[in-house]
Every structure is written in C-alpha cells, then in structure tokens.
Amino acid sequence: MRKLSALFVILCVVFGSCKREQNFSVVPYISFVDFTKYGADSAIVRIKFTDGDGDIGLDPTDLSPPYNIGSRYYADLFLVYYYLDPESNTWKVYNNNITNTNSTQFDTMQYTYRIPNLTQSGQNQSLQGEIKVAIPAPYCLTGSVLFPHSPPAPQFMYKITLVDRALHVSNTVQTGPISYP
C-alpha cells in the first residue's frame, strides 16, 4: 500500500508539473489592453498577443528582403492614427495632404516598431504575452507646427496590427476613443 501511495504521489507530481501545451493559431491574435497618456509629451500603448508558431519579432540583423529598410515588413507592429471628424462624426485616417513629392513626411500618421525576436527554444513554440510600446510626442494632432494641416478633432484613436516573421497579419484592434490632452 505504501508503494502504491508513493507511486501515486510521484505520478501526481510528474503530471502536475507538466505545462499544458497551448494551441494557438499560427496567425497572431492581438487584443487591446490600454492607452496611457503622459500629458501631450508621450503615451504608452499595451496589447496582448498569442501566436501558435512563436515567430514574433525580428533580430537586428534581419535586414534581407522582405525585412529590409524601406519595405513594409521592416517593422512588425503598426499603429495608424484616426481622428473623429466633427463634421461627419465618422473616424477618418489622418492624411497630411502633402503635395511636395520630395517631402520626407508621411501622408498618414503611423507609428511603426520592430519588436525584438521573441522565439522560444524548446518543443512548444507557441507564445502569449504583452507588448508595451512608447509613442513619442506628438502622439496626437493638435494643429502644431509639425502637423499644420491637422484637423480640429476632439478625439482620436489608433488601429493596431502585428505581423509575424512568416508575414501572417494579425487581426486589427483599436484603442477606442481618446480625448486630446
């Protein structure tokens, strides 16, 4: 009876210590957590993510196509700015209406990030976690010198997308309405 009890305890410890393998899709899935403003200077956005094959993030040496500088996939996290148009009461992507083709400004206000390579070693490659990124000033449009064509909008939001190394594009989430500081 003692041997059987000892075997039972050992089996409970062995099976209890094993992690259950998560079965996530190989296409990243993201969910919005929060957007924290620090005055008009900067902000932090947090999202949660899951990825079944764990290929989130890029190494600093990942510069060959399609991850080369100038490529859409040089970055893997995208935050696109939208404003609430007070005339139509609809969300619109910001367009700077730049007519100078030699300009270095973007016509759409978008922040892009390269997430560090998060691939795990071992048999279970699935990942889940949280990404937290800082958005520098100006994180919203207020008619500043940097954005002279900015609309007089009372609220803004970001639509966020994550892309993994296999170029699977996640769902798009939005921050929800945010008031100007």
List per-block mean pLDDT (blocks of 10 residues) for the chain, which spans 181 residues: 43 45 88 91 93 95 96 96 86 68 57 92 86 86 54 80 97 92 67
Listed residue (167, 176, 132) closest to 42, CA to CA: 132
Dump the DSSP string for 101-166: TT--S-SB-EEEE-PBP-PPPSS---EEEEEEEEEPSPSS-SS-SS-TT----SEEEEEEEEB-TT
What is the token pair recorded at 118? 């998060």
How far CA 86 is from CA of 44, 107, 141, 147, in Å, comes to 26, 21, 14, 18
**Can you list the pairs that 15-21 forms with residues at least 24 positions away whose Cβ atoms lie under 8 Å?**
19/124, 21/124, 21/126
Pick among 3.40.1190.20, 2.60.40.10, 3.40.50.300, 3.40.50.720: CATH of 23-179? 2.60.40.10
* pLDDT for the residue 121: 80
Give the strand pairing for 155-162 and 90-93. Answer: unpaired
> Which residues pair with residue 158 across a beta bridge?
81
* pLDDT for the residue 181: 67
Judged by phi (left if over 0) then psi (alpha if -120 to 50, else beta), residue 122 lies in: left
* pLDDT for the residue 147: 52
- The residue type of 155 is Q
